[in-house]
Structure 1
Amino acid sequence: MCNTFNSSSISADQVMFLGQSLVQVASLVIFLATTLPPIEKDPLGVFDRPLEDWYDFIVVGAGSAGGIVATRLSEGYDKVLLLEAGGSHIENDLTKIPLLWSALSNSNLDWKYKTIEQKHALFAFKDEVTNWPRGKCLGGTGRINAMGLIRGNPKDFDTWAKEGAVGWSYKDVLPYFKKMESIDFNLPMYSKGNKQTQYHTKGGKVRISYGCKKKPDLRGRDGPLTIVESRMTTLEYFHEQAAQELGYNRIDCNSETQLGFCRIQVNVKKGERCDTASCYLRPALGRPNLQVHLNSYVSKILFDGNVARGVEFSKDGVLYKVYARKEIILSAGVVHSPKILLSSGIGPKHHLNDIRIPVVADLPVGENLQDQMAMHFQIAINMSLATTSQKIADTENILQYLFYREGIYAQIGVDGMIFINLDQNNDAPPDIQLIFLGLAYEKGFLDGFSYKEEVKEELANRTDPNSFVVIVNLLNAKSRGKITLSTTCPSCKPVIDPMYLSDSDDVERFVKGIRFLQKLQETKSWKSIGAKLIRYDTPGHCSEEEYDKDDYWRCMVRHFANQANHQTSSCRMGSYGDVTAVVDPQLRVKGIKRLRVVDASVMRNNPSGNTNAPTMMIAEKAADLIKHSYY
């Protein structure tokens, strides 16, 4: 069990919300490291077994999808090789501690991708670019994210099926959502469907019976991932009451409906991160037919005509080639999966010709790239309820976590969220998500944004420990981007152009979402704590616009909205005749034999929420599809 922080990995510019507070506790942590049990270590030699020339399956990428696929395929007798470009997930102790997830971006566990300059967004950011954190270790991005578990709306998946992704309706995918999870909290009780009936007995007495319509069991209880509810502060109570005043009741947002207020659900077990690396892959490392190689950078797929035979990868400066008897499964993520395909000759013919890569298959790889966008708002209040850097550095809070795995460090910083449909259509998926952070808007919070220096300096003057943060997250954005190559260099990063806000409808819906946020200020609940939205326009960045007019907010969206880190669809799934699709509903690369893509890149669109749970669901279902192809 992990009992210390790896203080050597901490730097102020890595910490989004926590500022300098982590550095202040380093000496205490070093002292405790000499008195507490030693940290967990990888079994000697577990990742250094000699390579063989042939395996039944080769899985590329040990992230949220690849870790599941390799674990499931190795449950039988097939030999499975799992190649991961990064290192072990326990090399950095911070990864286990829920609250410290924001310290992992831009660390050695992050690929440190950046977008190219944006033409329609990010005007308050340095060079009009933003970071795209992607995990580079066992567990992938699921090892460095905030662990929020949101399946998406049932209608998201029904739409996939209607558009040609047969077998991916909500009814089809629900068993796999349930298979992966083990909920460890009490589900809310609902009265919907209950009917009161009066009837008379022979003696003339009136009796009342309550006939309860049995609700389907939508949650799993025996899966590898432990799911708990997380609450940061008592502010959650005020948010839930405010939501109810506006007509939004508390729900389980991973159930039949998503519109309403819900507590954040996270994959945390006994106060520590429970991701695919720790709760799927690690228990399977002792299997003789599962071989995991770290620091193994796959550069391309090897073909015999249109048949995928093997992969080429480098490790410690040596180039290797290994081959698969059955299939190669590409689970390198929304950025690296298209990069490997393009480098291997699978992609748009015109693009491959431009960079002189021989074409194996002309497919829209890297196109249809999607991401959500988010805006962060400071809400001032008249009392100290949010978690401040001072509270984070408090010795009692640190010891509470180190000894009992409880307290603020066992939380992810969220005090609930609201999903709304702007057109008030209860039959449609939500298009706005409000996330309430139980963290004060302090200077440490600003360190997580790559704002221009003059913008950051101005915003730093408005920070206040008596405040909290609300994120307005735009769901189902219409803007589409792409991932391309600028060179054939295997180690060079791809070109990422999400084309944020290129569709003006995204801006208009953002403005409507902000108007909903303003309605919360008028509720009795928020008024009771003096909640007030603080302006954060700065000179040259919307301050010239008349405040609170629609044009003002349109300007603010284009200047300050940032990536939400929920990227999908760069290797989109669809019917064989769908010209926008890279893989078919079996996740097989179209026109190519023995090659599948299994990760967030295959999603038809961005589900309503985030991509963590849908990615793992896809991996669970893919493992079944692959097994059924051979057994």
Structure 2
Amino acid sequence: MFLGQSLVQVASLVIFLSTVLPPTEKDPPGVFDRPLEDWYDYIVVGAGSAGGIVATRLSEGYEKVLLLEAGGSDLENDETKIPLLWSALSNSNLDWKFKTIPQTHSHFANKDKVSIWPRGKCLGGTGKINAMALIRGNPKDFDTWTKEGAVGWSYSDVLPFFKKIEHIAFNLSTYNEDLRGRNGPLTIVESRMTMLEYFHEQAAQELGFNRIDCNSESQLGFCRIQVNIKKGERCDTASCYLRPALERTNLQVHLNSHVSKILFDGKVAQGVEFSKDDILNKVYARKEIILSAGVVGSPKILLLSGVGPNHHMNDIGVPVVADLPVGENVQDQMAMHFQVAINMSLATTSQKIMDTENILQYLFFREGIYAQIGVDGMVFVNLDQNNEEPPDIQLIFLGLSYDKGFLDSFYYKEEVKEELAKRTDPNSFVVIMNLLHAKSRGTITLSTTSSSDKPVIDPMYLSDSDDVETFVKGIRFLQKLQETKSWKSIGATLIRHDTPGHCSEEEYDEDDYWRCMVRHFANQANHQTSSCRMGSDDDTTAVVDPQLRVKGIKNLRVADASVMRNNPSGNTNGPTMMIAERAADFIKNSK
């Protein structure tokens, strides 16, 4: 977020710190270079938020498990451990650096009308570069999956697997303790960036929203952000699931191993083809292959292997193995960022982040602002005030000021950035509005038959105008916060962000003004799902069945965010890990 700022002021610390701080963790020599065998019981593709769990769980027995990851070791970049630096990892060597094609209905203030899709390319995957927020989703989200044909995915079905993930390390006395887990590998703590959280919670209470555990029975209300952080460092599936299991002799992990396709004998998945060090390898599975390459990687590998829509397979020249809607029904939430000026210095500024004392506090004690992710709570809202339905929007309050460092993280056109830079203010904070159940649907297709070429990503953001209208209703709710005593006490005032050629010609605060702002300034939320959607056998939108088996194919499953039927209410971090735990359970019980 602020890594564009100069580090000159702390350069003098480098030599000193290298002499007093303990050496950084390194991978044991040869741990990822054990000789390949021809056959394994299970082959897992992708060592991200899902694949790391699947491989860890399957290797708890005696079966041989091979885990293939296209990226390198997460330990090659120490920033992956530091919670506050999560956004600096986008567009780094740990990121696939995917971009969408130019959008027709949205992103008009972005360069080339393009949306960037950060996806992790290293041990830990996107869970190694995301914001670490853990939100399960609303219970009704999962009940809807079951009603739509994904039998066995109701909230009561998935709750034990959410609990299995968690080691709750905060006080649950005011919440329903029975719904949370205490013995899982992933440490979950509550996080707060600044004292601004108090004002947001009080403002929410004035509007009738009490503090809740948003990972419990109901999400409607104000909740503190819950994050997978342990002792001030990121606790993801690589560090808290997979690494403790690396000593197992039946678990083999190969990095920098780019899977190009699944190998079939008719309708039976037999093995995978992958390149490593410019050498093409083939390995085979006695039992199953599990694709956990993510919402982009999993459909890409299936399409390259001939599993996908007939029309696209024929157009691209790939022989068809199975005619399935791979890469269709792609979903993402969208996010709008709002700048709120205040009359006092409460937010964390770029200057505070670069302050030597704050840096030393983290390096020596793993405490302070660097041990946080930048969030001061959030509110989940059903805009029709229907407490029986899931929330429509999520407001995330950042304890970060809207200053030059924050603005640098956007993919806006340069002239838009230059104009918005005139309005930056250290005495401000940021509100992110997430659209939770977008109706717009997109696609992921192949650009060529080469596995080294990136796929064509077209989310078709805001192609359904209902998404725009929900945003407008959400903005009207946000304006209600501005009228609360709590926000007024700190002078909280929304700052206009229209610029010449980008909605400045519209009459301010009319509905048409906000419709324009949504189409110009709303961006991706990076909660992409559903490119390999699950469903019943007669569901023509489904790629996998409710046990995550690719329909019509033997010995092949998909287990990651791509199989979700719909976006859950919140982010996809927790649901992705739950899906991985369920997949491992399905496989173990199918022996």
Q: Say if 2:540 is the partner of 1:579.
A: yes
Paired residues for 1:161-180 under 5 Å: 161-180=146-165
**Equivalent residue number for residue 101 of structure 2:** 116
**Equivalent residue number for residue 277 of structure 2:** 316
Paired residues for 1:454-473 under 5 Å: 454-473=415-434
Given candidates 28, 45, 50, the residue that maps to 1:60 is: 45
TM-score, normalised to structure 2's length?
0.99
**Equivalent residue number for residue 194 of structure 1:** none
**Equivalent residue number for residue 388 of structure 1:** 349
Q: Say if 2:115 is the partner of 1:130.
A: yes
**Equivalent residue number for residue 135 of structure 2:** 150
Given candidates 75, 79, 89, the residue that maps to 1:104 is: 89
**Equivalent residue number for residue 519 of structure 1:** 480
The CA deviation at 1:421 is 0.3
The CA deviation at 1:30 is 4.6
**Equivalent residue number for residue 406 of structure 1:** 367
Change in CA separation of 1:491 and 1:24 when aligned onto 2, cut-off 3 Å: farther
The higher radius of gyration belongs to: 1
The CA deviation at 1:216 is 6.7
Take 2:480 and 2:233, find their aligned partners in 1: how far apart are those partners?
36
Take 1:164 and 1:423, find their aligned partners in 2: how far apart are those partners?
27
Take 1:26 and 1:240, find their aligned partners in 2: how far apart are those partners?
39
The CA deviation at 1:22 is 4.7
The CA deviation at 1:27 is 4.0
**Equivalent residue number for residue 297 of structure 2:** 336
The CA deviation at 1:523 is 0.3
Q: Say if 2:72 is the partner of 1:78.
A: no
Take 1:544 and 1:188, find their aligned partners in 2: how far apart are those partners?
52
Change in CA separation of 1:27 and 1:564 when aligned onto 2, cut-off 3 Å: farther
Which residue identity is paired with 1:95? T
Which residue identity is paired with 2:63? D
Q: How many residues align?
A: 591
Change in CA separation of 1:300 and 1:276 when aligned onto 2, cut-off 3 Å: same
The CA deviation at 1:24 is 4.1
The CA deviation at 1:446 is 1.1
Take 2:134 and 2:272, find their aligned partners in 1: how far apart are those partners?
33
Which residue identity is paired with 1:91? E
**Equivalent residue number for residue 358 of structure 2:** 397
Instruction: Give secondary structure in 2 for the equivalent of 1:110.
Output: coil
Given candidates 153, 166, 182, the residue that maps to 2:167 is: 182
Take 2:7 and 2:197, find their aligned partners in 1: how far apart are those partners?
25
Query: Does the 8 A contact of 1:272 with 1:410 survive in 2?
Result: yes
Take 1:25 and 1:476, find their aligned partners in 2: how far apart are those partners?
44
Instruction: Give secondary structure in 2 for the equivalent of 1:34.
Output: helix
Take 1:185 and 1:444, find their aligned partners in 2: how far apart are those partners?
32
The CA deviation at 1:237 is 0.1
Change in CA separation of 1:586 and 1:234 when aligned onto 2, cut-off 3 Å: same
Identity of aligned residues (%): 86
Query: Does the 8 A contact of 1:18 with 1:389 survive in 2?
Result: no
Paired residues for 1:444-483 under 5 Å: 444-483=405-444
The CA deviation at 1:130 is 1.4
The CA deviation at 1:486 is 1.6
Given candidates 302, 326, 337, the residue that maps to 1:365 is: 326
Take 1:448 and 1:386, find their aligned partners in 2: how far apart are those partners?
17
Query: Does the 8 A contact of 1:17 with 1:439 survive in 2?
Result: no
Q: Note the residue ranges of structure 2 that are not aligned, 5 or more in a row.
A: none
Q: Note the residue ranges of structure 1 that are not aligned, 5 or more in a row.
A: 1-15, 191-214
TM-score, normalised to structure 1's length?
0.93
Query: Does the 8 A contact of 1:85 with 1:298 survive in 2?
Result: yes
Which residue identity is paired with 2:373? I
**Equivalent residue number for residue 552 of structure 1:** 513
Q: Deviations over 1:399-432 (max 9, x none)?
A: 1111111100000000000000011100100010
Query: Does the 8 A contact of 1:86 with 1:295 survive in 2?
Result: yes
Which residue identity is paired with 2:273? E
Take 1:26 and 1:619, find their aligned partners in 2: how far apart are those partners?
42
Instruction: Give secondary structure in 1 for the equivalent of 2:76.
Output: coil
Take 1:27 and 1:363, find their aligned partners in 2: how far apart are those partners?
58
The CA deviation at 1:490 is 1.2
Given candidates 269, 280, 304, the residue that maps to 2:241 is: 280
The CA deviation at 1:36 is 1.1
The CA deviation at 1:187 is 2.0
Take 2:173 and 2:386, find their aligned partners in 1: how far apart are those partners?
23
Q: Deviations over 1:223-275 (max 9, x none)?
A: 00000000000000000000000000000000000000000000000000000
Change in CA separation of 1:29 and 1:103 when aligned onto 2, cut-off 3 Å: farther
Q: Say if 2:487 is the partner of 1:502.
A: no
Which residue identity is paired with 1:395? T
The CA deviation at 1:563 is 0.2
Take 1:22 and 1:353, find their aligned partners in 2: how far apart are those partners?
52
Take 1:25 and 1:550, find their aligned partners in 2: how far apart are those partners?
47
Which residue identity is paired with 1:53? D
The CA deviation at 1:34 is 2.6
